[in-house]
Amino acid sequence: MNTFTQELRHRGVSIWLDNITRKMLDQGVLQQYIARLSVTGLTSNPSIFEAAIAKTSDYDTAIKNISQSGISDEEVFFSLAIEDIQRAADLFMPVFSQTNGLDGFVSIEVSPRLAYDTENTLKAARDIHQKVDRPNVFIKIPGTPEGLPAIEKAIAAGIPVNVTLLFSAEQYEAAAMAYLRGIEARIANNLNPDVRSVASVFVSRWDKAVADKADPGIANKMGIAVMQKTYHTYKTFLLSERVQRVMNFGVSPQRLLWASTGTKDPNASDILYVKSLVAPFTVNTIPENTLLAFADHGETGELLSDDVALADHIISQYAERSVKYDQLAAQLQAEGAEAFNKSWDNLINSIAEKRKKL
């Protein structure tokens, strides 16, 4: 067992891998990460599947075998993705059992084309959840304004949800409240209210977005400052009367997840967003290269501060450089949705081309 990743896990941070490929599954790489690097979960997104399916030949045989008249390119993709997700979920089932269903989750996303379509997002979430048929799989739903009602209804329907594309404390809080309303609906209907969920807040894209506004004193500090604000909101949420009430009905509350934790700046530490976001009862979903870097030269440092004044001071310094926090948060969410749309289109188009050739 790697001492660096083990220490991070012991300090209360669940380590999830932000990657999945069929080759990784076939060659036993994921099993090694679970056994040696304390990896306890996994996330996927359209960009990850684009790289795995569209940019390699690893899935060509499978595409040929499942392609038949009347099946859409999107259906072919979900057939491939669901098989990978099921295999990964089975590998994490011992972790899921050992942690009483807190950890050991694998995530698969609804089509990003549905980010602004409430009803079809919910329909897709139900469909994928039924097809995956594993208790330790999250359905990823974007935390856009249109996604929030779908999140609430999915939780109320008993579907575990990974809320994605969150960028600020305010966006996180809106997602957390949607989750909570879904839980409260289950209590009101005398249903088992313990439906698991995480809320994924993206870190590194903040620093990338403001890189041209940063002087050496505040470079690569915006993302962590926003996470400090979000962590404060998270702790306030966990201590609220409404959350403690539902906990008394047997609920394990939604956890906060740090996403986009690969360092974008080549001049910064390659483990910056891992060592700086050490906070108990959180998840860090880590790109594979960053995970291996942390296993090589990791450090955990002090626990993340939830000092809002300190965070606001950093944010105010960027505000003096014309960076508007709320406006940029909305922009990053919209850009994130569009980036996933682009990856999705490339992925589906690539599958269409492969089907023609194969």
Q: Is the pLDDT of residue 279 over 80?
A: yes
Q: Is the pLDDT of residue 50 over 70?
A: yes
Q: Is the pLDDT of residue 181 over 80?
A: yes
Q: What confidence score (pLDDT) does residue 235 get?
A: 98
Query: Of 17-21, 64-68, 211-215, 298-302, where does the model show the most confidence?
Result: 17-21
pLDDT digits (tens, 9 = 90+) for 87-98: 999 999 999 999
Q: Is the pLDDT of residue 169 over 70?
A: yes
Quote the tokens at residue 251: 């609920």
Which letter does DSSP use for residue 114 in this model? G
Residue 240's φ and ψ, nearest 5 degrees, are -70, 155
Q: Is the pLDDT of residue 109 over 70?
A: yes
- Which DSSP string do the residues of 182-251 spell out, in sequence order? HHHHHHHTT------EEEEEE-HHHHHHTGGG--TTTTT-HHHHHHHHHHHHHHHHHTSHHHHHHHTTT-
In a 3-state reduction of DSSP, which class is residue 112?
helix
Q: Is the pLDDT of residue 241 over 70?
A: yes
pLDDT bin (cut points 50, 70, 90) of residue 313 is very high
At which residue do the structure tokens 């080549």 appear? 266
Return the percentage of the chain with pLDDT > 70, whole number. Answer: 100
> In whole numbers, what is the pLDDT of the chain averaged over residues?
95
pLDDT bin (cut points 50, 70, 90) of residue 356 is confident
Q: How far is CA 149 from CA 77, 177, 349, in A?
A: 26, 10, 30
Report the phi/psi class of residue 220: left, alpha or beta, with left for phi > 0 and alpha for psi in -120 to 50.
Answer: left
Q: 20 near 42, Cβ under 8 Å?
A: yes
Helix (H) or strand (E) holding 285: strand 282-286
Q: Which of 108, 106, 176 is nearest to 143 (CA)?
A: 176
Q: What confidence score (pLDDT) does residue 134 get?
A: 98
Q: Is the pLDDT of residue 68 over 80?
A: no
Q: Is the pLDDT of residue 301 over 90?
A: no
Instruction: Give the pTM.
Output: 0.96
pLDDT digits (tens, 9 = 90+) for 198-231: 999 999 999 999 999 888 889 999 999 999 999 9
Pairing verdict, β 39-42 and 13-17: parallel
Q: What confidence score (pLDDT) does residue 178 get?
A: 98
Q: Which residues pair with 198 in a beta bridge?
A: 162, 255
Q: What confidence score (pLDDT) does residue 67 get?
A: 79
Q: What confidence score (pLDDT) does residue 357 get?
A: 83
Please give the residue that has the higher pLDDT: either 78 or 68.
78
Q: What confidence score (pLDDT) does residue 69 get?
A: 67
- What amino acid positions are annotated as catalytic residues? 140
At which residue do the structure tokens 């330790």 appear? 136
Q: What confidence score (pLDDT) does residue 299 get?
A: 92
If you average pLDDT over residues 59-67, what whole number do you get? Answer: 89
Q: Which of 350, 279, 337 is nearest to 114 (CA)?
A: 337
Length of the chain in residues, anyone?
Answer: 358
Full set of structural domains in the chain with CATH: 3-205+226-301+329-357 (3.20.20.70)
